[in-house]
Amino acid sequence: IFKTHLFGNASIIVCSAELCRKVLTDDNNFQWGYPVSNLILGDDHVPFDYISSHKRLHRLLTTALNQHQPPSSHLGTIENIVINTLEEWSKMKEPILFVPEVNKFVFKLIIAILLGSGTDDTQIASMEEYYRKVYYGLHTTPINIPGFAYHRAVQARKVLVNRIRGVLGERRERRCNDPNPNTGIIDFMEKADFEDGRPMNHELLVGLLIGLFIAGLETTSRTAIWATVYLHNHPRLLHKAKEEQEEIVKRRPSSQKGLTFTEIKQMKYLS
């Protein structure tokens, strides 16, 4: 723990896991705060600066997801997207730019989980393009003047919001005509109500989706990228990881198709 100045402000930095846990869980003595650039997410975004509001929303989402769509229900969708993506890469005659390609396929995963698997590839590519501009704006000086990255991010967010609204509108139409639609987390979030009985309004839903894009995409893509890099650079570790996977597949019943949540829990080396 030490004291310093960051961007002209007196700051206290803590590094140990124990101290970080205390700071992040002690709501009475430590208040959350985000930089001004976080306003790019919009006034309708989750009010993270209000701890009680954030906790209520967290309980709302956790309850809705655990009751209606446990994590294991997404495994089939995730596995299909990963397999199809790897097959596409293997057929390419030229080397690929690994980081952008991983970002694209992880964005497709996030969209499938949040919005369901029926979203058109063209729509996904368009949303990813504008999402990237929004994300880059979060890490820039908040100068909302043409020519600056923050201004481009603000404009990109407006387009991204319209794209998401369009997808949500199409999903509502499909639900009316299809008795068994490809459901995503968004379908259960739309039905969720706050503790005081208020429904989840449309603008909050769109802002929340953008926040979930950021939370889910950046962590997942970076984990996939660095895991691949480290396994490539350390053949011995790659061999041990492959051995573990092969053992799990050997124990799999002949009638089983695809990965299960139980098998993931058996991956001790990769966990």
Q: What is the pLDDT along the chain (271 residues), one digit of tens a residue?
A: 889 987 677 888 999 999 999 888 887 888 766 666 666 666 544 444 445 556 666 676 676 666 555 566 778 888 899 999 999 999 999 999 999 999 999 999 988 888 876 777 888 888 999 999 988 888 888 888 999 999 999 999 989 988 888 888 887 777 777 656 566 777 777 766 655 566 667 777 777 788 888 888 888 999 999 999 999 999 999 999 999 999 999 999 988 888 888 898 899 998 7
226 lies in some domain: yes
243 lies in some domain: no
Q: What CATH number should be reported for the domain holding residue 82?
A: 1.10.630.10
Cα 118 from Cα 188, distance rounded (Å): 16
Q: Can you tell me whether residue 3 is helix, strand or coil?
A: strand
Residues 13 and 39 in one domain: no
269 lies in some domain: no
DSSP state of 55: H
Residues 7 and 58 in one domain: no
Give the pLDDT confidence score for residue 47 in this predicted structure.
44
Q: How many domains are contained in the chain?
A: 2
Residues 7 and 107 in one domain: no
Residues 146 and 228 in one domain: yes
Residues 56 and 15 in one domain: no
Residue 124 host element (H or E): helix 121-137
Q: Is the CB of residue 124 less than 8 Å from the CB of residue 107? A: yes
Residues 55 and 125 in one domain: yes
Residues 135 and 165 in one domain: yes
259 lies in some domain: no
Cα 44 from Cα 164, distance rounded (Å): 14
The residue range of the domain holding 11 is: 1-30
Q: Which residue has the tokens 């051995």?
A: 243
pTM value?
0.76
9 lies in some domain: yes
Residues 182 and 224 in one domain: yes
Cα 61 from Cα 63, distance rounded (Å): 5
Residues 127 and 26 in one domain: no
Dihedral sign for Cα 257, 262, 266, 270, please: positive
**Residue 100, Cβ density class (10 Å: 0-12 exposed, 13-18 middle, ≥19 buried):** exposed
> Radius of gyration (Cα) for the chain, nearest Å?
21
Cα 258 from Cα 119, distance rounded (Å): 22
Give the pLDDT confidence score for residue 34 in this predicted structure.
60
| 185 Rama class: left (phi>0) / alpha (psi -120 to 50) / beta | alpha
244 lies in some domain: no
Amino acid identity of residue 201, one-letter, is N
Residues 96 and 113 in one domain: yes
61 lies in some domain: yes
Q: Can you tell me whether residue 6 is helix, strand or coil?
A: strand
Residues 190 and 225 in one domain: yes
Residues 13 and 67 in one domain: no
180 lies in some domain: yes
Give the pLDDT confidence score for residue 48 in this predicted structure.
44
